Structure formats: C-alpha cells, structure tokens
Chains A and B, each alone.
Chain A
Amino acid sequence: MDFAAAIMITVITATTPLLIAALGELVVEKSGVLNLGIEGMMATGAACGFAAAILTGSTFVGVAAAIMAGMALSAVFAFLVLGLAANQVASGLALTIGGIGLSGLIGAGFVGTTRQPVPRFEFPDLSAVELLKDFPYISEIAGVLQFVFGQDPFVYVSLVLAGGIFWFLGRSRAGLLLKAIGENQVSAHSLGLKVVWTRFLAILFGGACAGLAGAYLSLVYTPFWSPGMTAGRGWIALALVVFASWRPVRLLFGAYFFGAATVLQLHAQAASLGIPAQLLSAFPYIATIIALVIMSVGRTSIGAPASLGTPFVPDR
C-alpha cells in the first residue's frame, strides 16, 4: 500500500468518530436542544465500550455497551432539560464534567490493558487472481477497490448515518416535524406536535451517536483505554455542527476537512518544516475559525434552528 493510501486511512480514522458524534448532535440541535455534553458521553462510551469488550471478549457487546452508556447519560440530560426545563448550557456542561469523571471510574481497572483493534474488511487482491492478472491497470484498480471496501465497519456506519440523516431531515415527514419543533416550539406545540417527546428521542439518538463515537476511539483508534482519551473531540464535533451550518452534507465534508487537517499537521511535524510544533497542532483549530469567519462574512443564512437552547414550558 502506498504512502497516499496510508495517509488517507489515517484521515478516515481521525474523521470517523468526529463525524458520528457530530451527526448525532446535528439531529439534537435541529430539534431545538443544545447538548454540550458530547465530550462526556463520548468519554463514558469509550470506557464502557472498552470495559465490556475486554470482559466479554466481544466487540459487538462492547459497541452495544458504549451506545447504551451514551443513551443513559443523554437520558439524564433529557430529564433535566425537558422534564425540569433546566438551563441547557449548564446541564450540558455538567454532563461533560460528570461523564469524564464517570469514565475514569469505569475505566480505572482497565488502564494498561490492550486488545486487538477491530479488523478492517478484507477485500481480495484482484491482481492476484489468475484470470484477471493481465487486465490493463489491474493493480491500480485492485488497490482502489481494496481501499474503498477495506475499511473498518464503523466507517461505513458513519457514511450510512450521514446519508440517512440527510434523507431524514430533507425528505421525510418525521424529519420535517423535528425541524418545525426546532424552528418554533410554541407554534409546533399549538399545532399539536409532540415537542417534548420528539426532543427526548432526538437527545437519545445524539447520546447513542456519542457513545458509538467513544467506542470507536477505544476499540479501533487506539485500541486501549486511558483517562482523557477523548481529548476534546466532543467539542470539535460540536463546533463542526455550527461549521456545517446544520446541514448533513456539509457536515460530512467539514468532518473530513477537519480530520485531514489533524493528520496533515502530524505529518508536517514529522517532516520538520521549521514551523514550531505548537503552531502546527493549532492549525486545525485556526482553520476552523477562519472557515467560520468566512462563512459569517458571506452572510448566507447561517441556519441555526430558531428555538435552539430555549427551554420549553407549555402553559397548562
């Protein structure tokens, strides 16, 4: 496998957890709820996923445990902000702090343990097949096919998720209702839409995505568990939603842009270009700020749901 393919694989690996977590948050925010707790849910998902995978030896159980953990935490958040109409910013921050603490508790016994990363799919090398080996460009074609079909399962899940959310928000009736609730909760309520229930489901979905993204970190990316391993990725996912102006397709590209920036700065550091390492580490963040500024200068409709972050209390 050549150098370019190797870089692309690291880009994909860096991007996938960001993409999954950000897609979940996109749906949550489209319903009008701001959940700042992604980082905490990811951390807990990573710890639970790793612990369950080690204890049972099953990756599948690990992933399921991570998803459940993310959903459980998000259910607490939902109880606070929907049930008690608590402030969403404060509740979300509490969720992040609490989730990171919880992950430390769960993961403490597993520090230093490693397991095999979730394997990539194996696509047969067509250039080795007797019948095809004289076909023109066969080695290049085989390489591309092996690359396209040879990623780990999470990558395909993240792409299917992006497509599914694009379809859900843009084409489906349920998605239309969800957007309406995020746009104007008072009107939605007066039309008889189930504001609280819809938001509850959206928050659970966001929690599941954050948990899955956490599992990716501890089961594929590293694959071990250490405290603080999410390293701010939850916050980056949050920024990505704004960066993508709440659109799934832009989110897909934004996540890959950010993933590429992260990886490229590592390679730039390795190549010792004479630029301080700290500056290069900061590059993805600087790129995000520049992109955000360019977007807001363009004054195109930013697209934030109008009810985002406002508690909903119907009078009875």
Chain B
Amino acid sequence: MVEGLVGEPLVRLHRIVKRFGPVLANDRIDLEIREGEIHALLGENGAGKSTLVKILDGLLQPTDGEILWQGNQVTLESPVAAAALGIGMVFQHFSLFEQMTVAENIAVSLPPDDSLQDLNVRIAAVGKRYGLALQPNRPVWTLSAGEKQRIEIVRALLREPKLLILDEPTSVLTPQEAETLFGTLRTLAEGGCALLYITHRLDEVKQLCSRATILRGGKVVAACDPREETVENLASLMVGSDVAGLRTATERKVGQMRFEMKNVSMRGEGSHGRALKNVSLGVRSRQILGIAGVAGNGQSELFAVMSGEWPVMKDQSILIDGQPVGHLGIEERRGRGAAFVPEERLGHAAVPRMSLSDNVVLSRQRTRSVVKDGLISRAGARALANSISVAFGVRKGRADPPASTLSGGNLQKFVVGREILRGPTLLIINQPTWGVDAGAAATIRQSLIDLALRGTGIIIISQDLDEIFAVSDMIAVIHDGTLSEPVGVTETNRDAIGLLMTGGKGAKHAA
C-alpha cells in the first residue's frame, strides 16, 4: 500500500485511561487510525490491547481520556452506539450462539429497524464480494473455526463499518485460511475501511500492516512502520527485553517406545464432540511428537483417551513402556511414570479457588513428601509448590495464592512445572502455551525440550504451528478425528501440514 492512499484520521484516542480497581489496564494511551489503513496493535497478553479495543467498541467506559471520531468528541456508551457510528468488531473468542443457525447469528446483531426479509440474499452478496462463503441455514456448532470467523466478519460487514477491529483473528486459522483472510482485509482497506488489527504474530504484521502501535504494561511504548522493522526488533519492543531463542537439541538419540496407541476409536463427548477414528501413534524416549490441528478436530477426545480420563475397551490398545494400560485411569497411569497437562488451566489442570499447594496435592498424591499414610503434609505441599514456582519463575502476589489469581502465563508455568518436576518418563500436554505471553511460552517450550533430553517421551497437542515446528521431532495432524502418519520435522513444511489440517491431500485415512 502506498502511503499517499491512506486518508484522513478516522478515529483518535487521546490519553485514554482505564482502571479496574487497583489495576491500571490502560495508561494514557494515544492512538490514531486513518481511513484505508491496516493498523496493527501489538502487545503481549495483559498489555492492555483487549481493554483498549473494548473501549473502542463501547463495551467498557474509559476512566479518563477522550475519543474523537472524524474530529468530533464522542462517547461510546454501548456496542450499539459504536455500531451506529460505524465501528465493527470481530472477537477473538467468537461471540456466536452455537445452537443457532448462521443466519440467526447474523440477524441478532442487526439494528432493530433493519429488515430480515432478504437476509440470506444479503449474506450471499457480501460473501461474494469479499470471498466469504457461508451457508445460512447451517447450525453454528457444525462449522470449523474458519467458517465461524467468516460469520463474525460478515456480521460486521453487513453494517458497512468504517472501522473494523479484529482481535487476534488468525489464532484459530490454518495458514491457508489466514491467507484468504488477508486477501479479504486488503480488499476492505482498498475500499476505504480502516482496520485495527490486533495480534502478537509479527510476521503477519510485517506482511499486512502499514503502521503499528505497540503496547506494554498498559502504555504505548512505540509507534512505527512495521515494514521497516525486523521481527526481532518488534518482539523486543513488545516484551521489553530480548526473548531467548530456543536451544534445540542436536540429534537426540531416540530410545525405547514409551507410549503406544493402536487403532483406538471413540465416540465424541456430547452433541458437539468429535469421534476418534482408528487412531494409532507412538512416541519413544527422547522424542517429541507434535500433533497439529485446527481446534475441535478431536484434540480433547484424543487427550482424554491418552490420559485415561476415558479408559478404552481393549486394555492392549494403549501401552505405556510396553505394558497395557487401556483400562487404567489417570492416577494409575501416573503410577506408571506418565504425566498429563490438559488444555484448560483453570478448571481442568487446576482448581481455580484452591491454593497452589492444594493444587499440587491433586496431581501429586503419590509424592511421598506431599501425602504420607493417606494424610496430606501441608508443609510438604507448600514446599513443593514453592520449589515449582522457583524453578519455573512463577510470579505470584502472595506465598500460596488461589490458582485463579495467577495470570495465564504464570499459572501455565506452574501446572507444567508441577508435572515436569516429577521427572515423568512420559509427558502428554495439550495446548502448552495457549494464551500465554511470549516469555512464559519460551520457558515452557525450553523445559519440554530439556525434559526430552533427559529421556522422556513427549506428546504435544497444539494449534500453534510455530510451536509445533519449534519443538517437535515428529509431526502428525489430527483432522476430523483422524490422525495422519507422523513425519519427521525436516521432511515436511508448514504448507504441507496446513493442507493436512484442512483435510487436504495426503490425509492417510481420509474420512
């Protein structure tokens, strides 16, 4: 995009302050967005991006500061008021109604005086213009993440917005879907729409955006042209220090088979679950197997089967160190040297309202210093919680706070640390760094690589392709409950994996 094409300032945020109790989420933020530009808003989790965007969308009221829309001061008291001005929003966590159809989901967001008579025609027209195909009568829960996002975008576009805000739009997309999205966004910008693009993926910003504003700790720390900066520069601006690169092990010698699963099929949980179809896999000592895939393709079911949350019918179809464990539950499998880190930190890996030391007891009942003769040793549990915190750099406000008070990154370091410090011979981890800041993500990934070096077999389920490629030796892809043949990380590339993620060619047991 040529600088001259970018138009007048559309919206100006002037010294915006937002305070939640003692926490200062936005500290005197200035931001200007012009017509026809794709403006990047960069920052770590907790930098204040989401808060700022919610203020722009009328969901939150600023404590102080002013918003100028086309030069006039405005108050955005609700999303309705923001939409009336021409501000549209595509949420990171989709604001969709799973049980309702695509058309119904779009209808609920339209203004009351807007007729619903020809809605399907209008959806088709917008879809055609921007390459966003949708089937209006499908229930939303049957759709892929990419399709769900299209609903959000079409929903915003039907209001003909002047400013479209996209919060981490590519975090759930395959590389191919992301490419399509970029095309749509460029078309929109050429039509004069201003776009505020929130992300922490820096290569996307360099590809797409002409200006960038970087937030850290609630403040603007830099505004720049991302095309003229290196990715490393942008990253250190975001994090405030250099992020350590991963020390990958050179040529690990793989050892014996740690974990094997043979032809396991399992029906999905509830009406929205995904059935597993004939899944086989294996991981050896000193090996990391990465399982890529778009969310909702059977990852949760696969994790539940591997961890013993759902035991399987045939004892022989799951082996730990060659021993059948298919009938065994989680705690028995832990007794065989396995450790598990599920996807949701709060509610699955840790009990939100219980203290860290209590949460240690939950998965470490077999550790002698924690539970002796059926009694919990408070001192032992606290000491262990403390040593986990020290080893993994968990920052916390008090000595033994409830799990829910930790930030996402810190809690994730804690639950991963809790399992790694047991010295497991097998570790299965689902979405190890989802929603975690770059610093914590680097710590967790490094600790996984180091653990593999010490002889552990590791299986990582992740939606994040960068992560999969950074830590895995072998990569397999899960799509519609089917697992592809694992391939060595050096024998494949992002495009090939991306194709498998959408069920494209190469899927071995295509459904």
Query: Interface residues, chain A, CB within 8 Å of chain B?
Result: 173, 176-177, 179-180, 183-184, 186-193, 299, 301, 303, 306, 315-316
Chain B residue contacts of A186, Cβ below 8 A: 95
**Bound form: Cα–Cα A193–B79 in Å:** 9
Chain A residue contacts of B95, Cβ below 8 A: 184, 186-188, 190-191
Cβ distance A301 to chain B, nearest Cβ, rounded Å: 5
Interface string of B3-36 (1 = CB under 8 A from A): 0000000000000000010000000000000000
For the complex with contacts A190-B79, A316-B60, 19 further pairs of A-B residues with Cβ separation under 8 Å are A173-B107, A176-B100, A180-B97, A180-B108, A183-B98, A183-B99, A184-B95, A184-B96, A187-B94, A187-B96, A188-B97, A190-B91, A190-B95, A191-B79, A193-B108, A301-B271, A306-B98, A306-B99, A315-B20
Contact of B221 with A by CB under 8 A: no
Contact B96 A192 (CB under 8 A): no
Interface-centre pick from A186, A187, A189 (highest chain B CB count, 10 A): A187
Interface string of B62-80 (1 = CB under 8 A from A): 0000000000000000111
Which of A188, A301, A316 sits near B108, CB closer than 8 Å?
A188
Contact of B371 with A by CB under 8 A: no
Contact A184 B98 (CB under 8 A): yes
Contact of B257 with A by CB under 8 A: no
Chain A residue contacts of B109, Cβ below 8 A: 191-192
Contact B60 A192 (CB under 8 A): no
**Bound form: Cα–Cα A186–B59 in Å:** 11
Which label, helix, strand, loop or mixed, suits the secondary structure of the B interface? loop
**Bound form: Cα–Cα A184–B59 in Å:** 16
Which of A177, A179, A192 sits near B79, CB closer than 8 Å?
A192
Cβ distance B19 to chain A, nearest Cβ, rounded Å: 11
Which of B20, B58, B98, B104 sits near A176, CB closer than 8 Å?
B104
**Bound form: Cα–Cα A226–B270 in Å:** 46
Which of A173, A180, A299 sits near B100, CB closer than 8 Å?
A180
Question: Which residues of B271-285 have CB atoms within 8 Å of chain A's CB atoms?
Answer: 271
Number of interface residues of B (CB under 8 A): 26
**Bound form: Cα–Cα A214–B257 in Å:** 69
Contact B58 A192 (CB under 8 A): yes
Question: Which residues of B83-140 have CB atoms within 8 Å of chain A's CB atoms?
Answer: 83, 89, 91, 94-100, 104, 107-109, 112, 116
Interface string of B258-278 (1 = CB under 8 A from A): 000000000000010000000
Task: Closest A residue to B108 by CB, please name it.
Answer: A180
Query: Interface residues, chain B, CB within 8 Å of chain A?
Result: 20, 57-61, 78-80, 83, 89, 91, 94-100, 104, 107-109, 112, 116, 271
**Bound form: Cα–Cα A316–B51 in Å:** 10
Chain B residue contacts of A191, Cβ below 8 A: 79, 95, 108-109
Task: Closest B residue to A184 by CB, please name it.
Answer: B97
Chain A residue contacts of B80, Cβ below 8 A: 192
24 sample A-B contacts, Cβ–Cβ < 8 Å, listed by A number: A173-B116, A176-B104, A177-B108, A179-B100, A180-B97, A180-B104, A183-B97, A184-B95, A184-B97, A186-B95, A187-B94, A187-B96, A187-B97, A188-B97, A190-B57, A190-B95, A191-B108, A191-B109, A192-B78, A192-B83, A301-B99, A303-B99, A306-B99, A315-B20
Cβ distance A204 to chain B, nearest Cβ, rounded Å: 21
**Bound form: Cα–Cα A262–B129 in Å:** 60
Cβ distance B302 to chain A, nearest Cβ, rounded Å: 21
Cβ distance A83 to chain B, nearest Cβ, rounded Å: 19
**Bound form: Cα–Cα A173–B61 in Å:** 29
**Bound form: Cα–Cα A180–B61 in Å:** 24
Contact A190 B59 (CB under 8 A): yes
**Bound form: Cα–Cα A188–B112 in Å:** 15
Chain A residue contacts of B83, Cβ below 8 A: 192
Chain A residue contacts of B97, Cβ below 8 A: 179-180, 183-184, 187-188
Cβ distance B264 to chain A, nearest Cβ, rounded Å: 21
Chain B residue contacts of A189, Cβ below 8 A: 59
**Bound form: Cα–Cα A190–B82 in Å:** 11
Chain B residue contacts of A179, Cβ below 8 A: 97, 100
Cβ distance A258 to chain B, nearest Cβ, rounded Å: 26
Cβ distance B319 to chain A, nearest Cβ, rounded Å: 31
**Bound form: Cα–Cα A316–B61 in Å:** 7
Chain B residue contacts of A192, Cβ below 8 A: 58, 78-80, 83, 109
Cβ distance B439 to chain A, nearest Cβ, rounded Å: 26
Contact A176 B108 (CB under 8 A): yes
Cβ distance A198 to chain B, nearest Cβ, rounded Å: 12
9 closest residue pairs by CB, A with B: A187-B95, A192-B79, A192-B80, A183-B97, A180-B108, A190-B95, A191-B109, A180-B97, A301-B271
**Bound form: Cα–Cα A176–B60 in Å:** 25
Task: Closest A residue to B116 by CB, please name it.
Answer: A173
Contact A315 B60 (CB under 8 A): yes
Chain A residue contacts of B94, Cβ below 8 A: 187
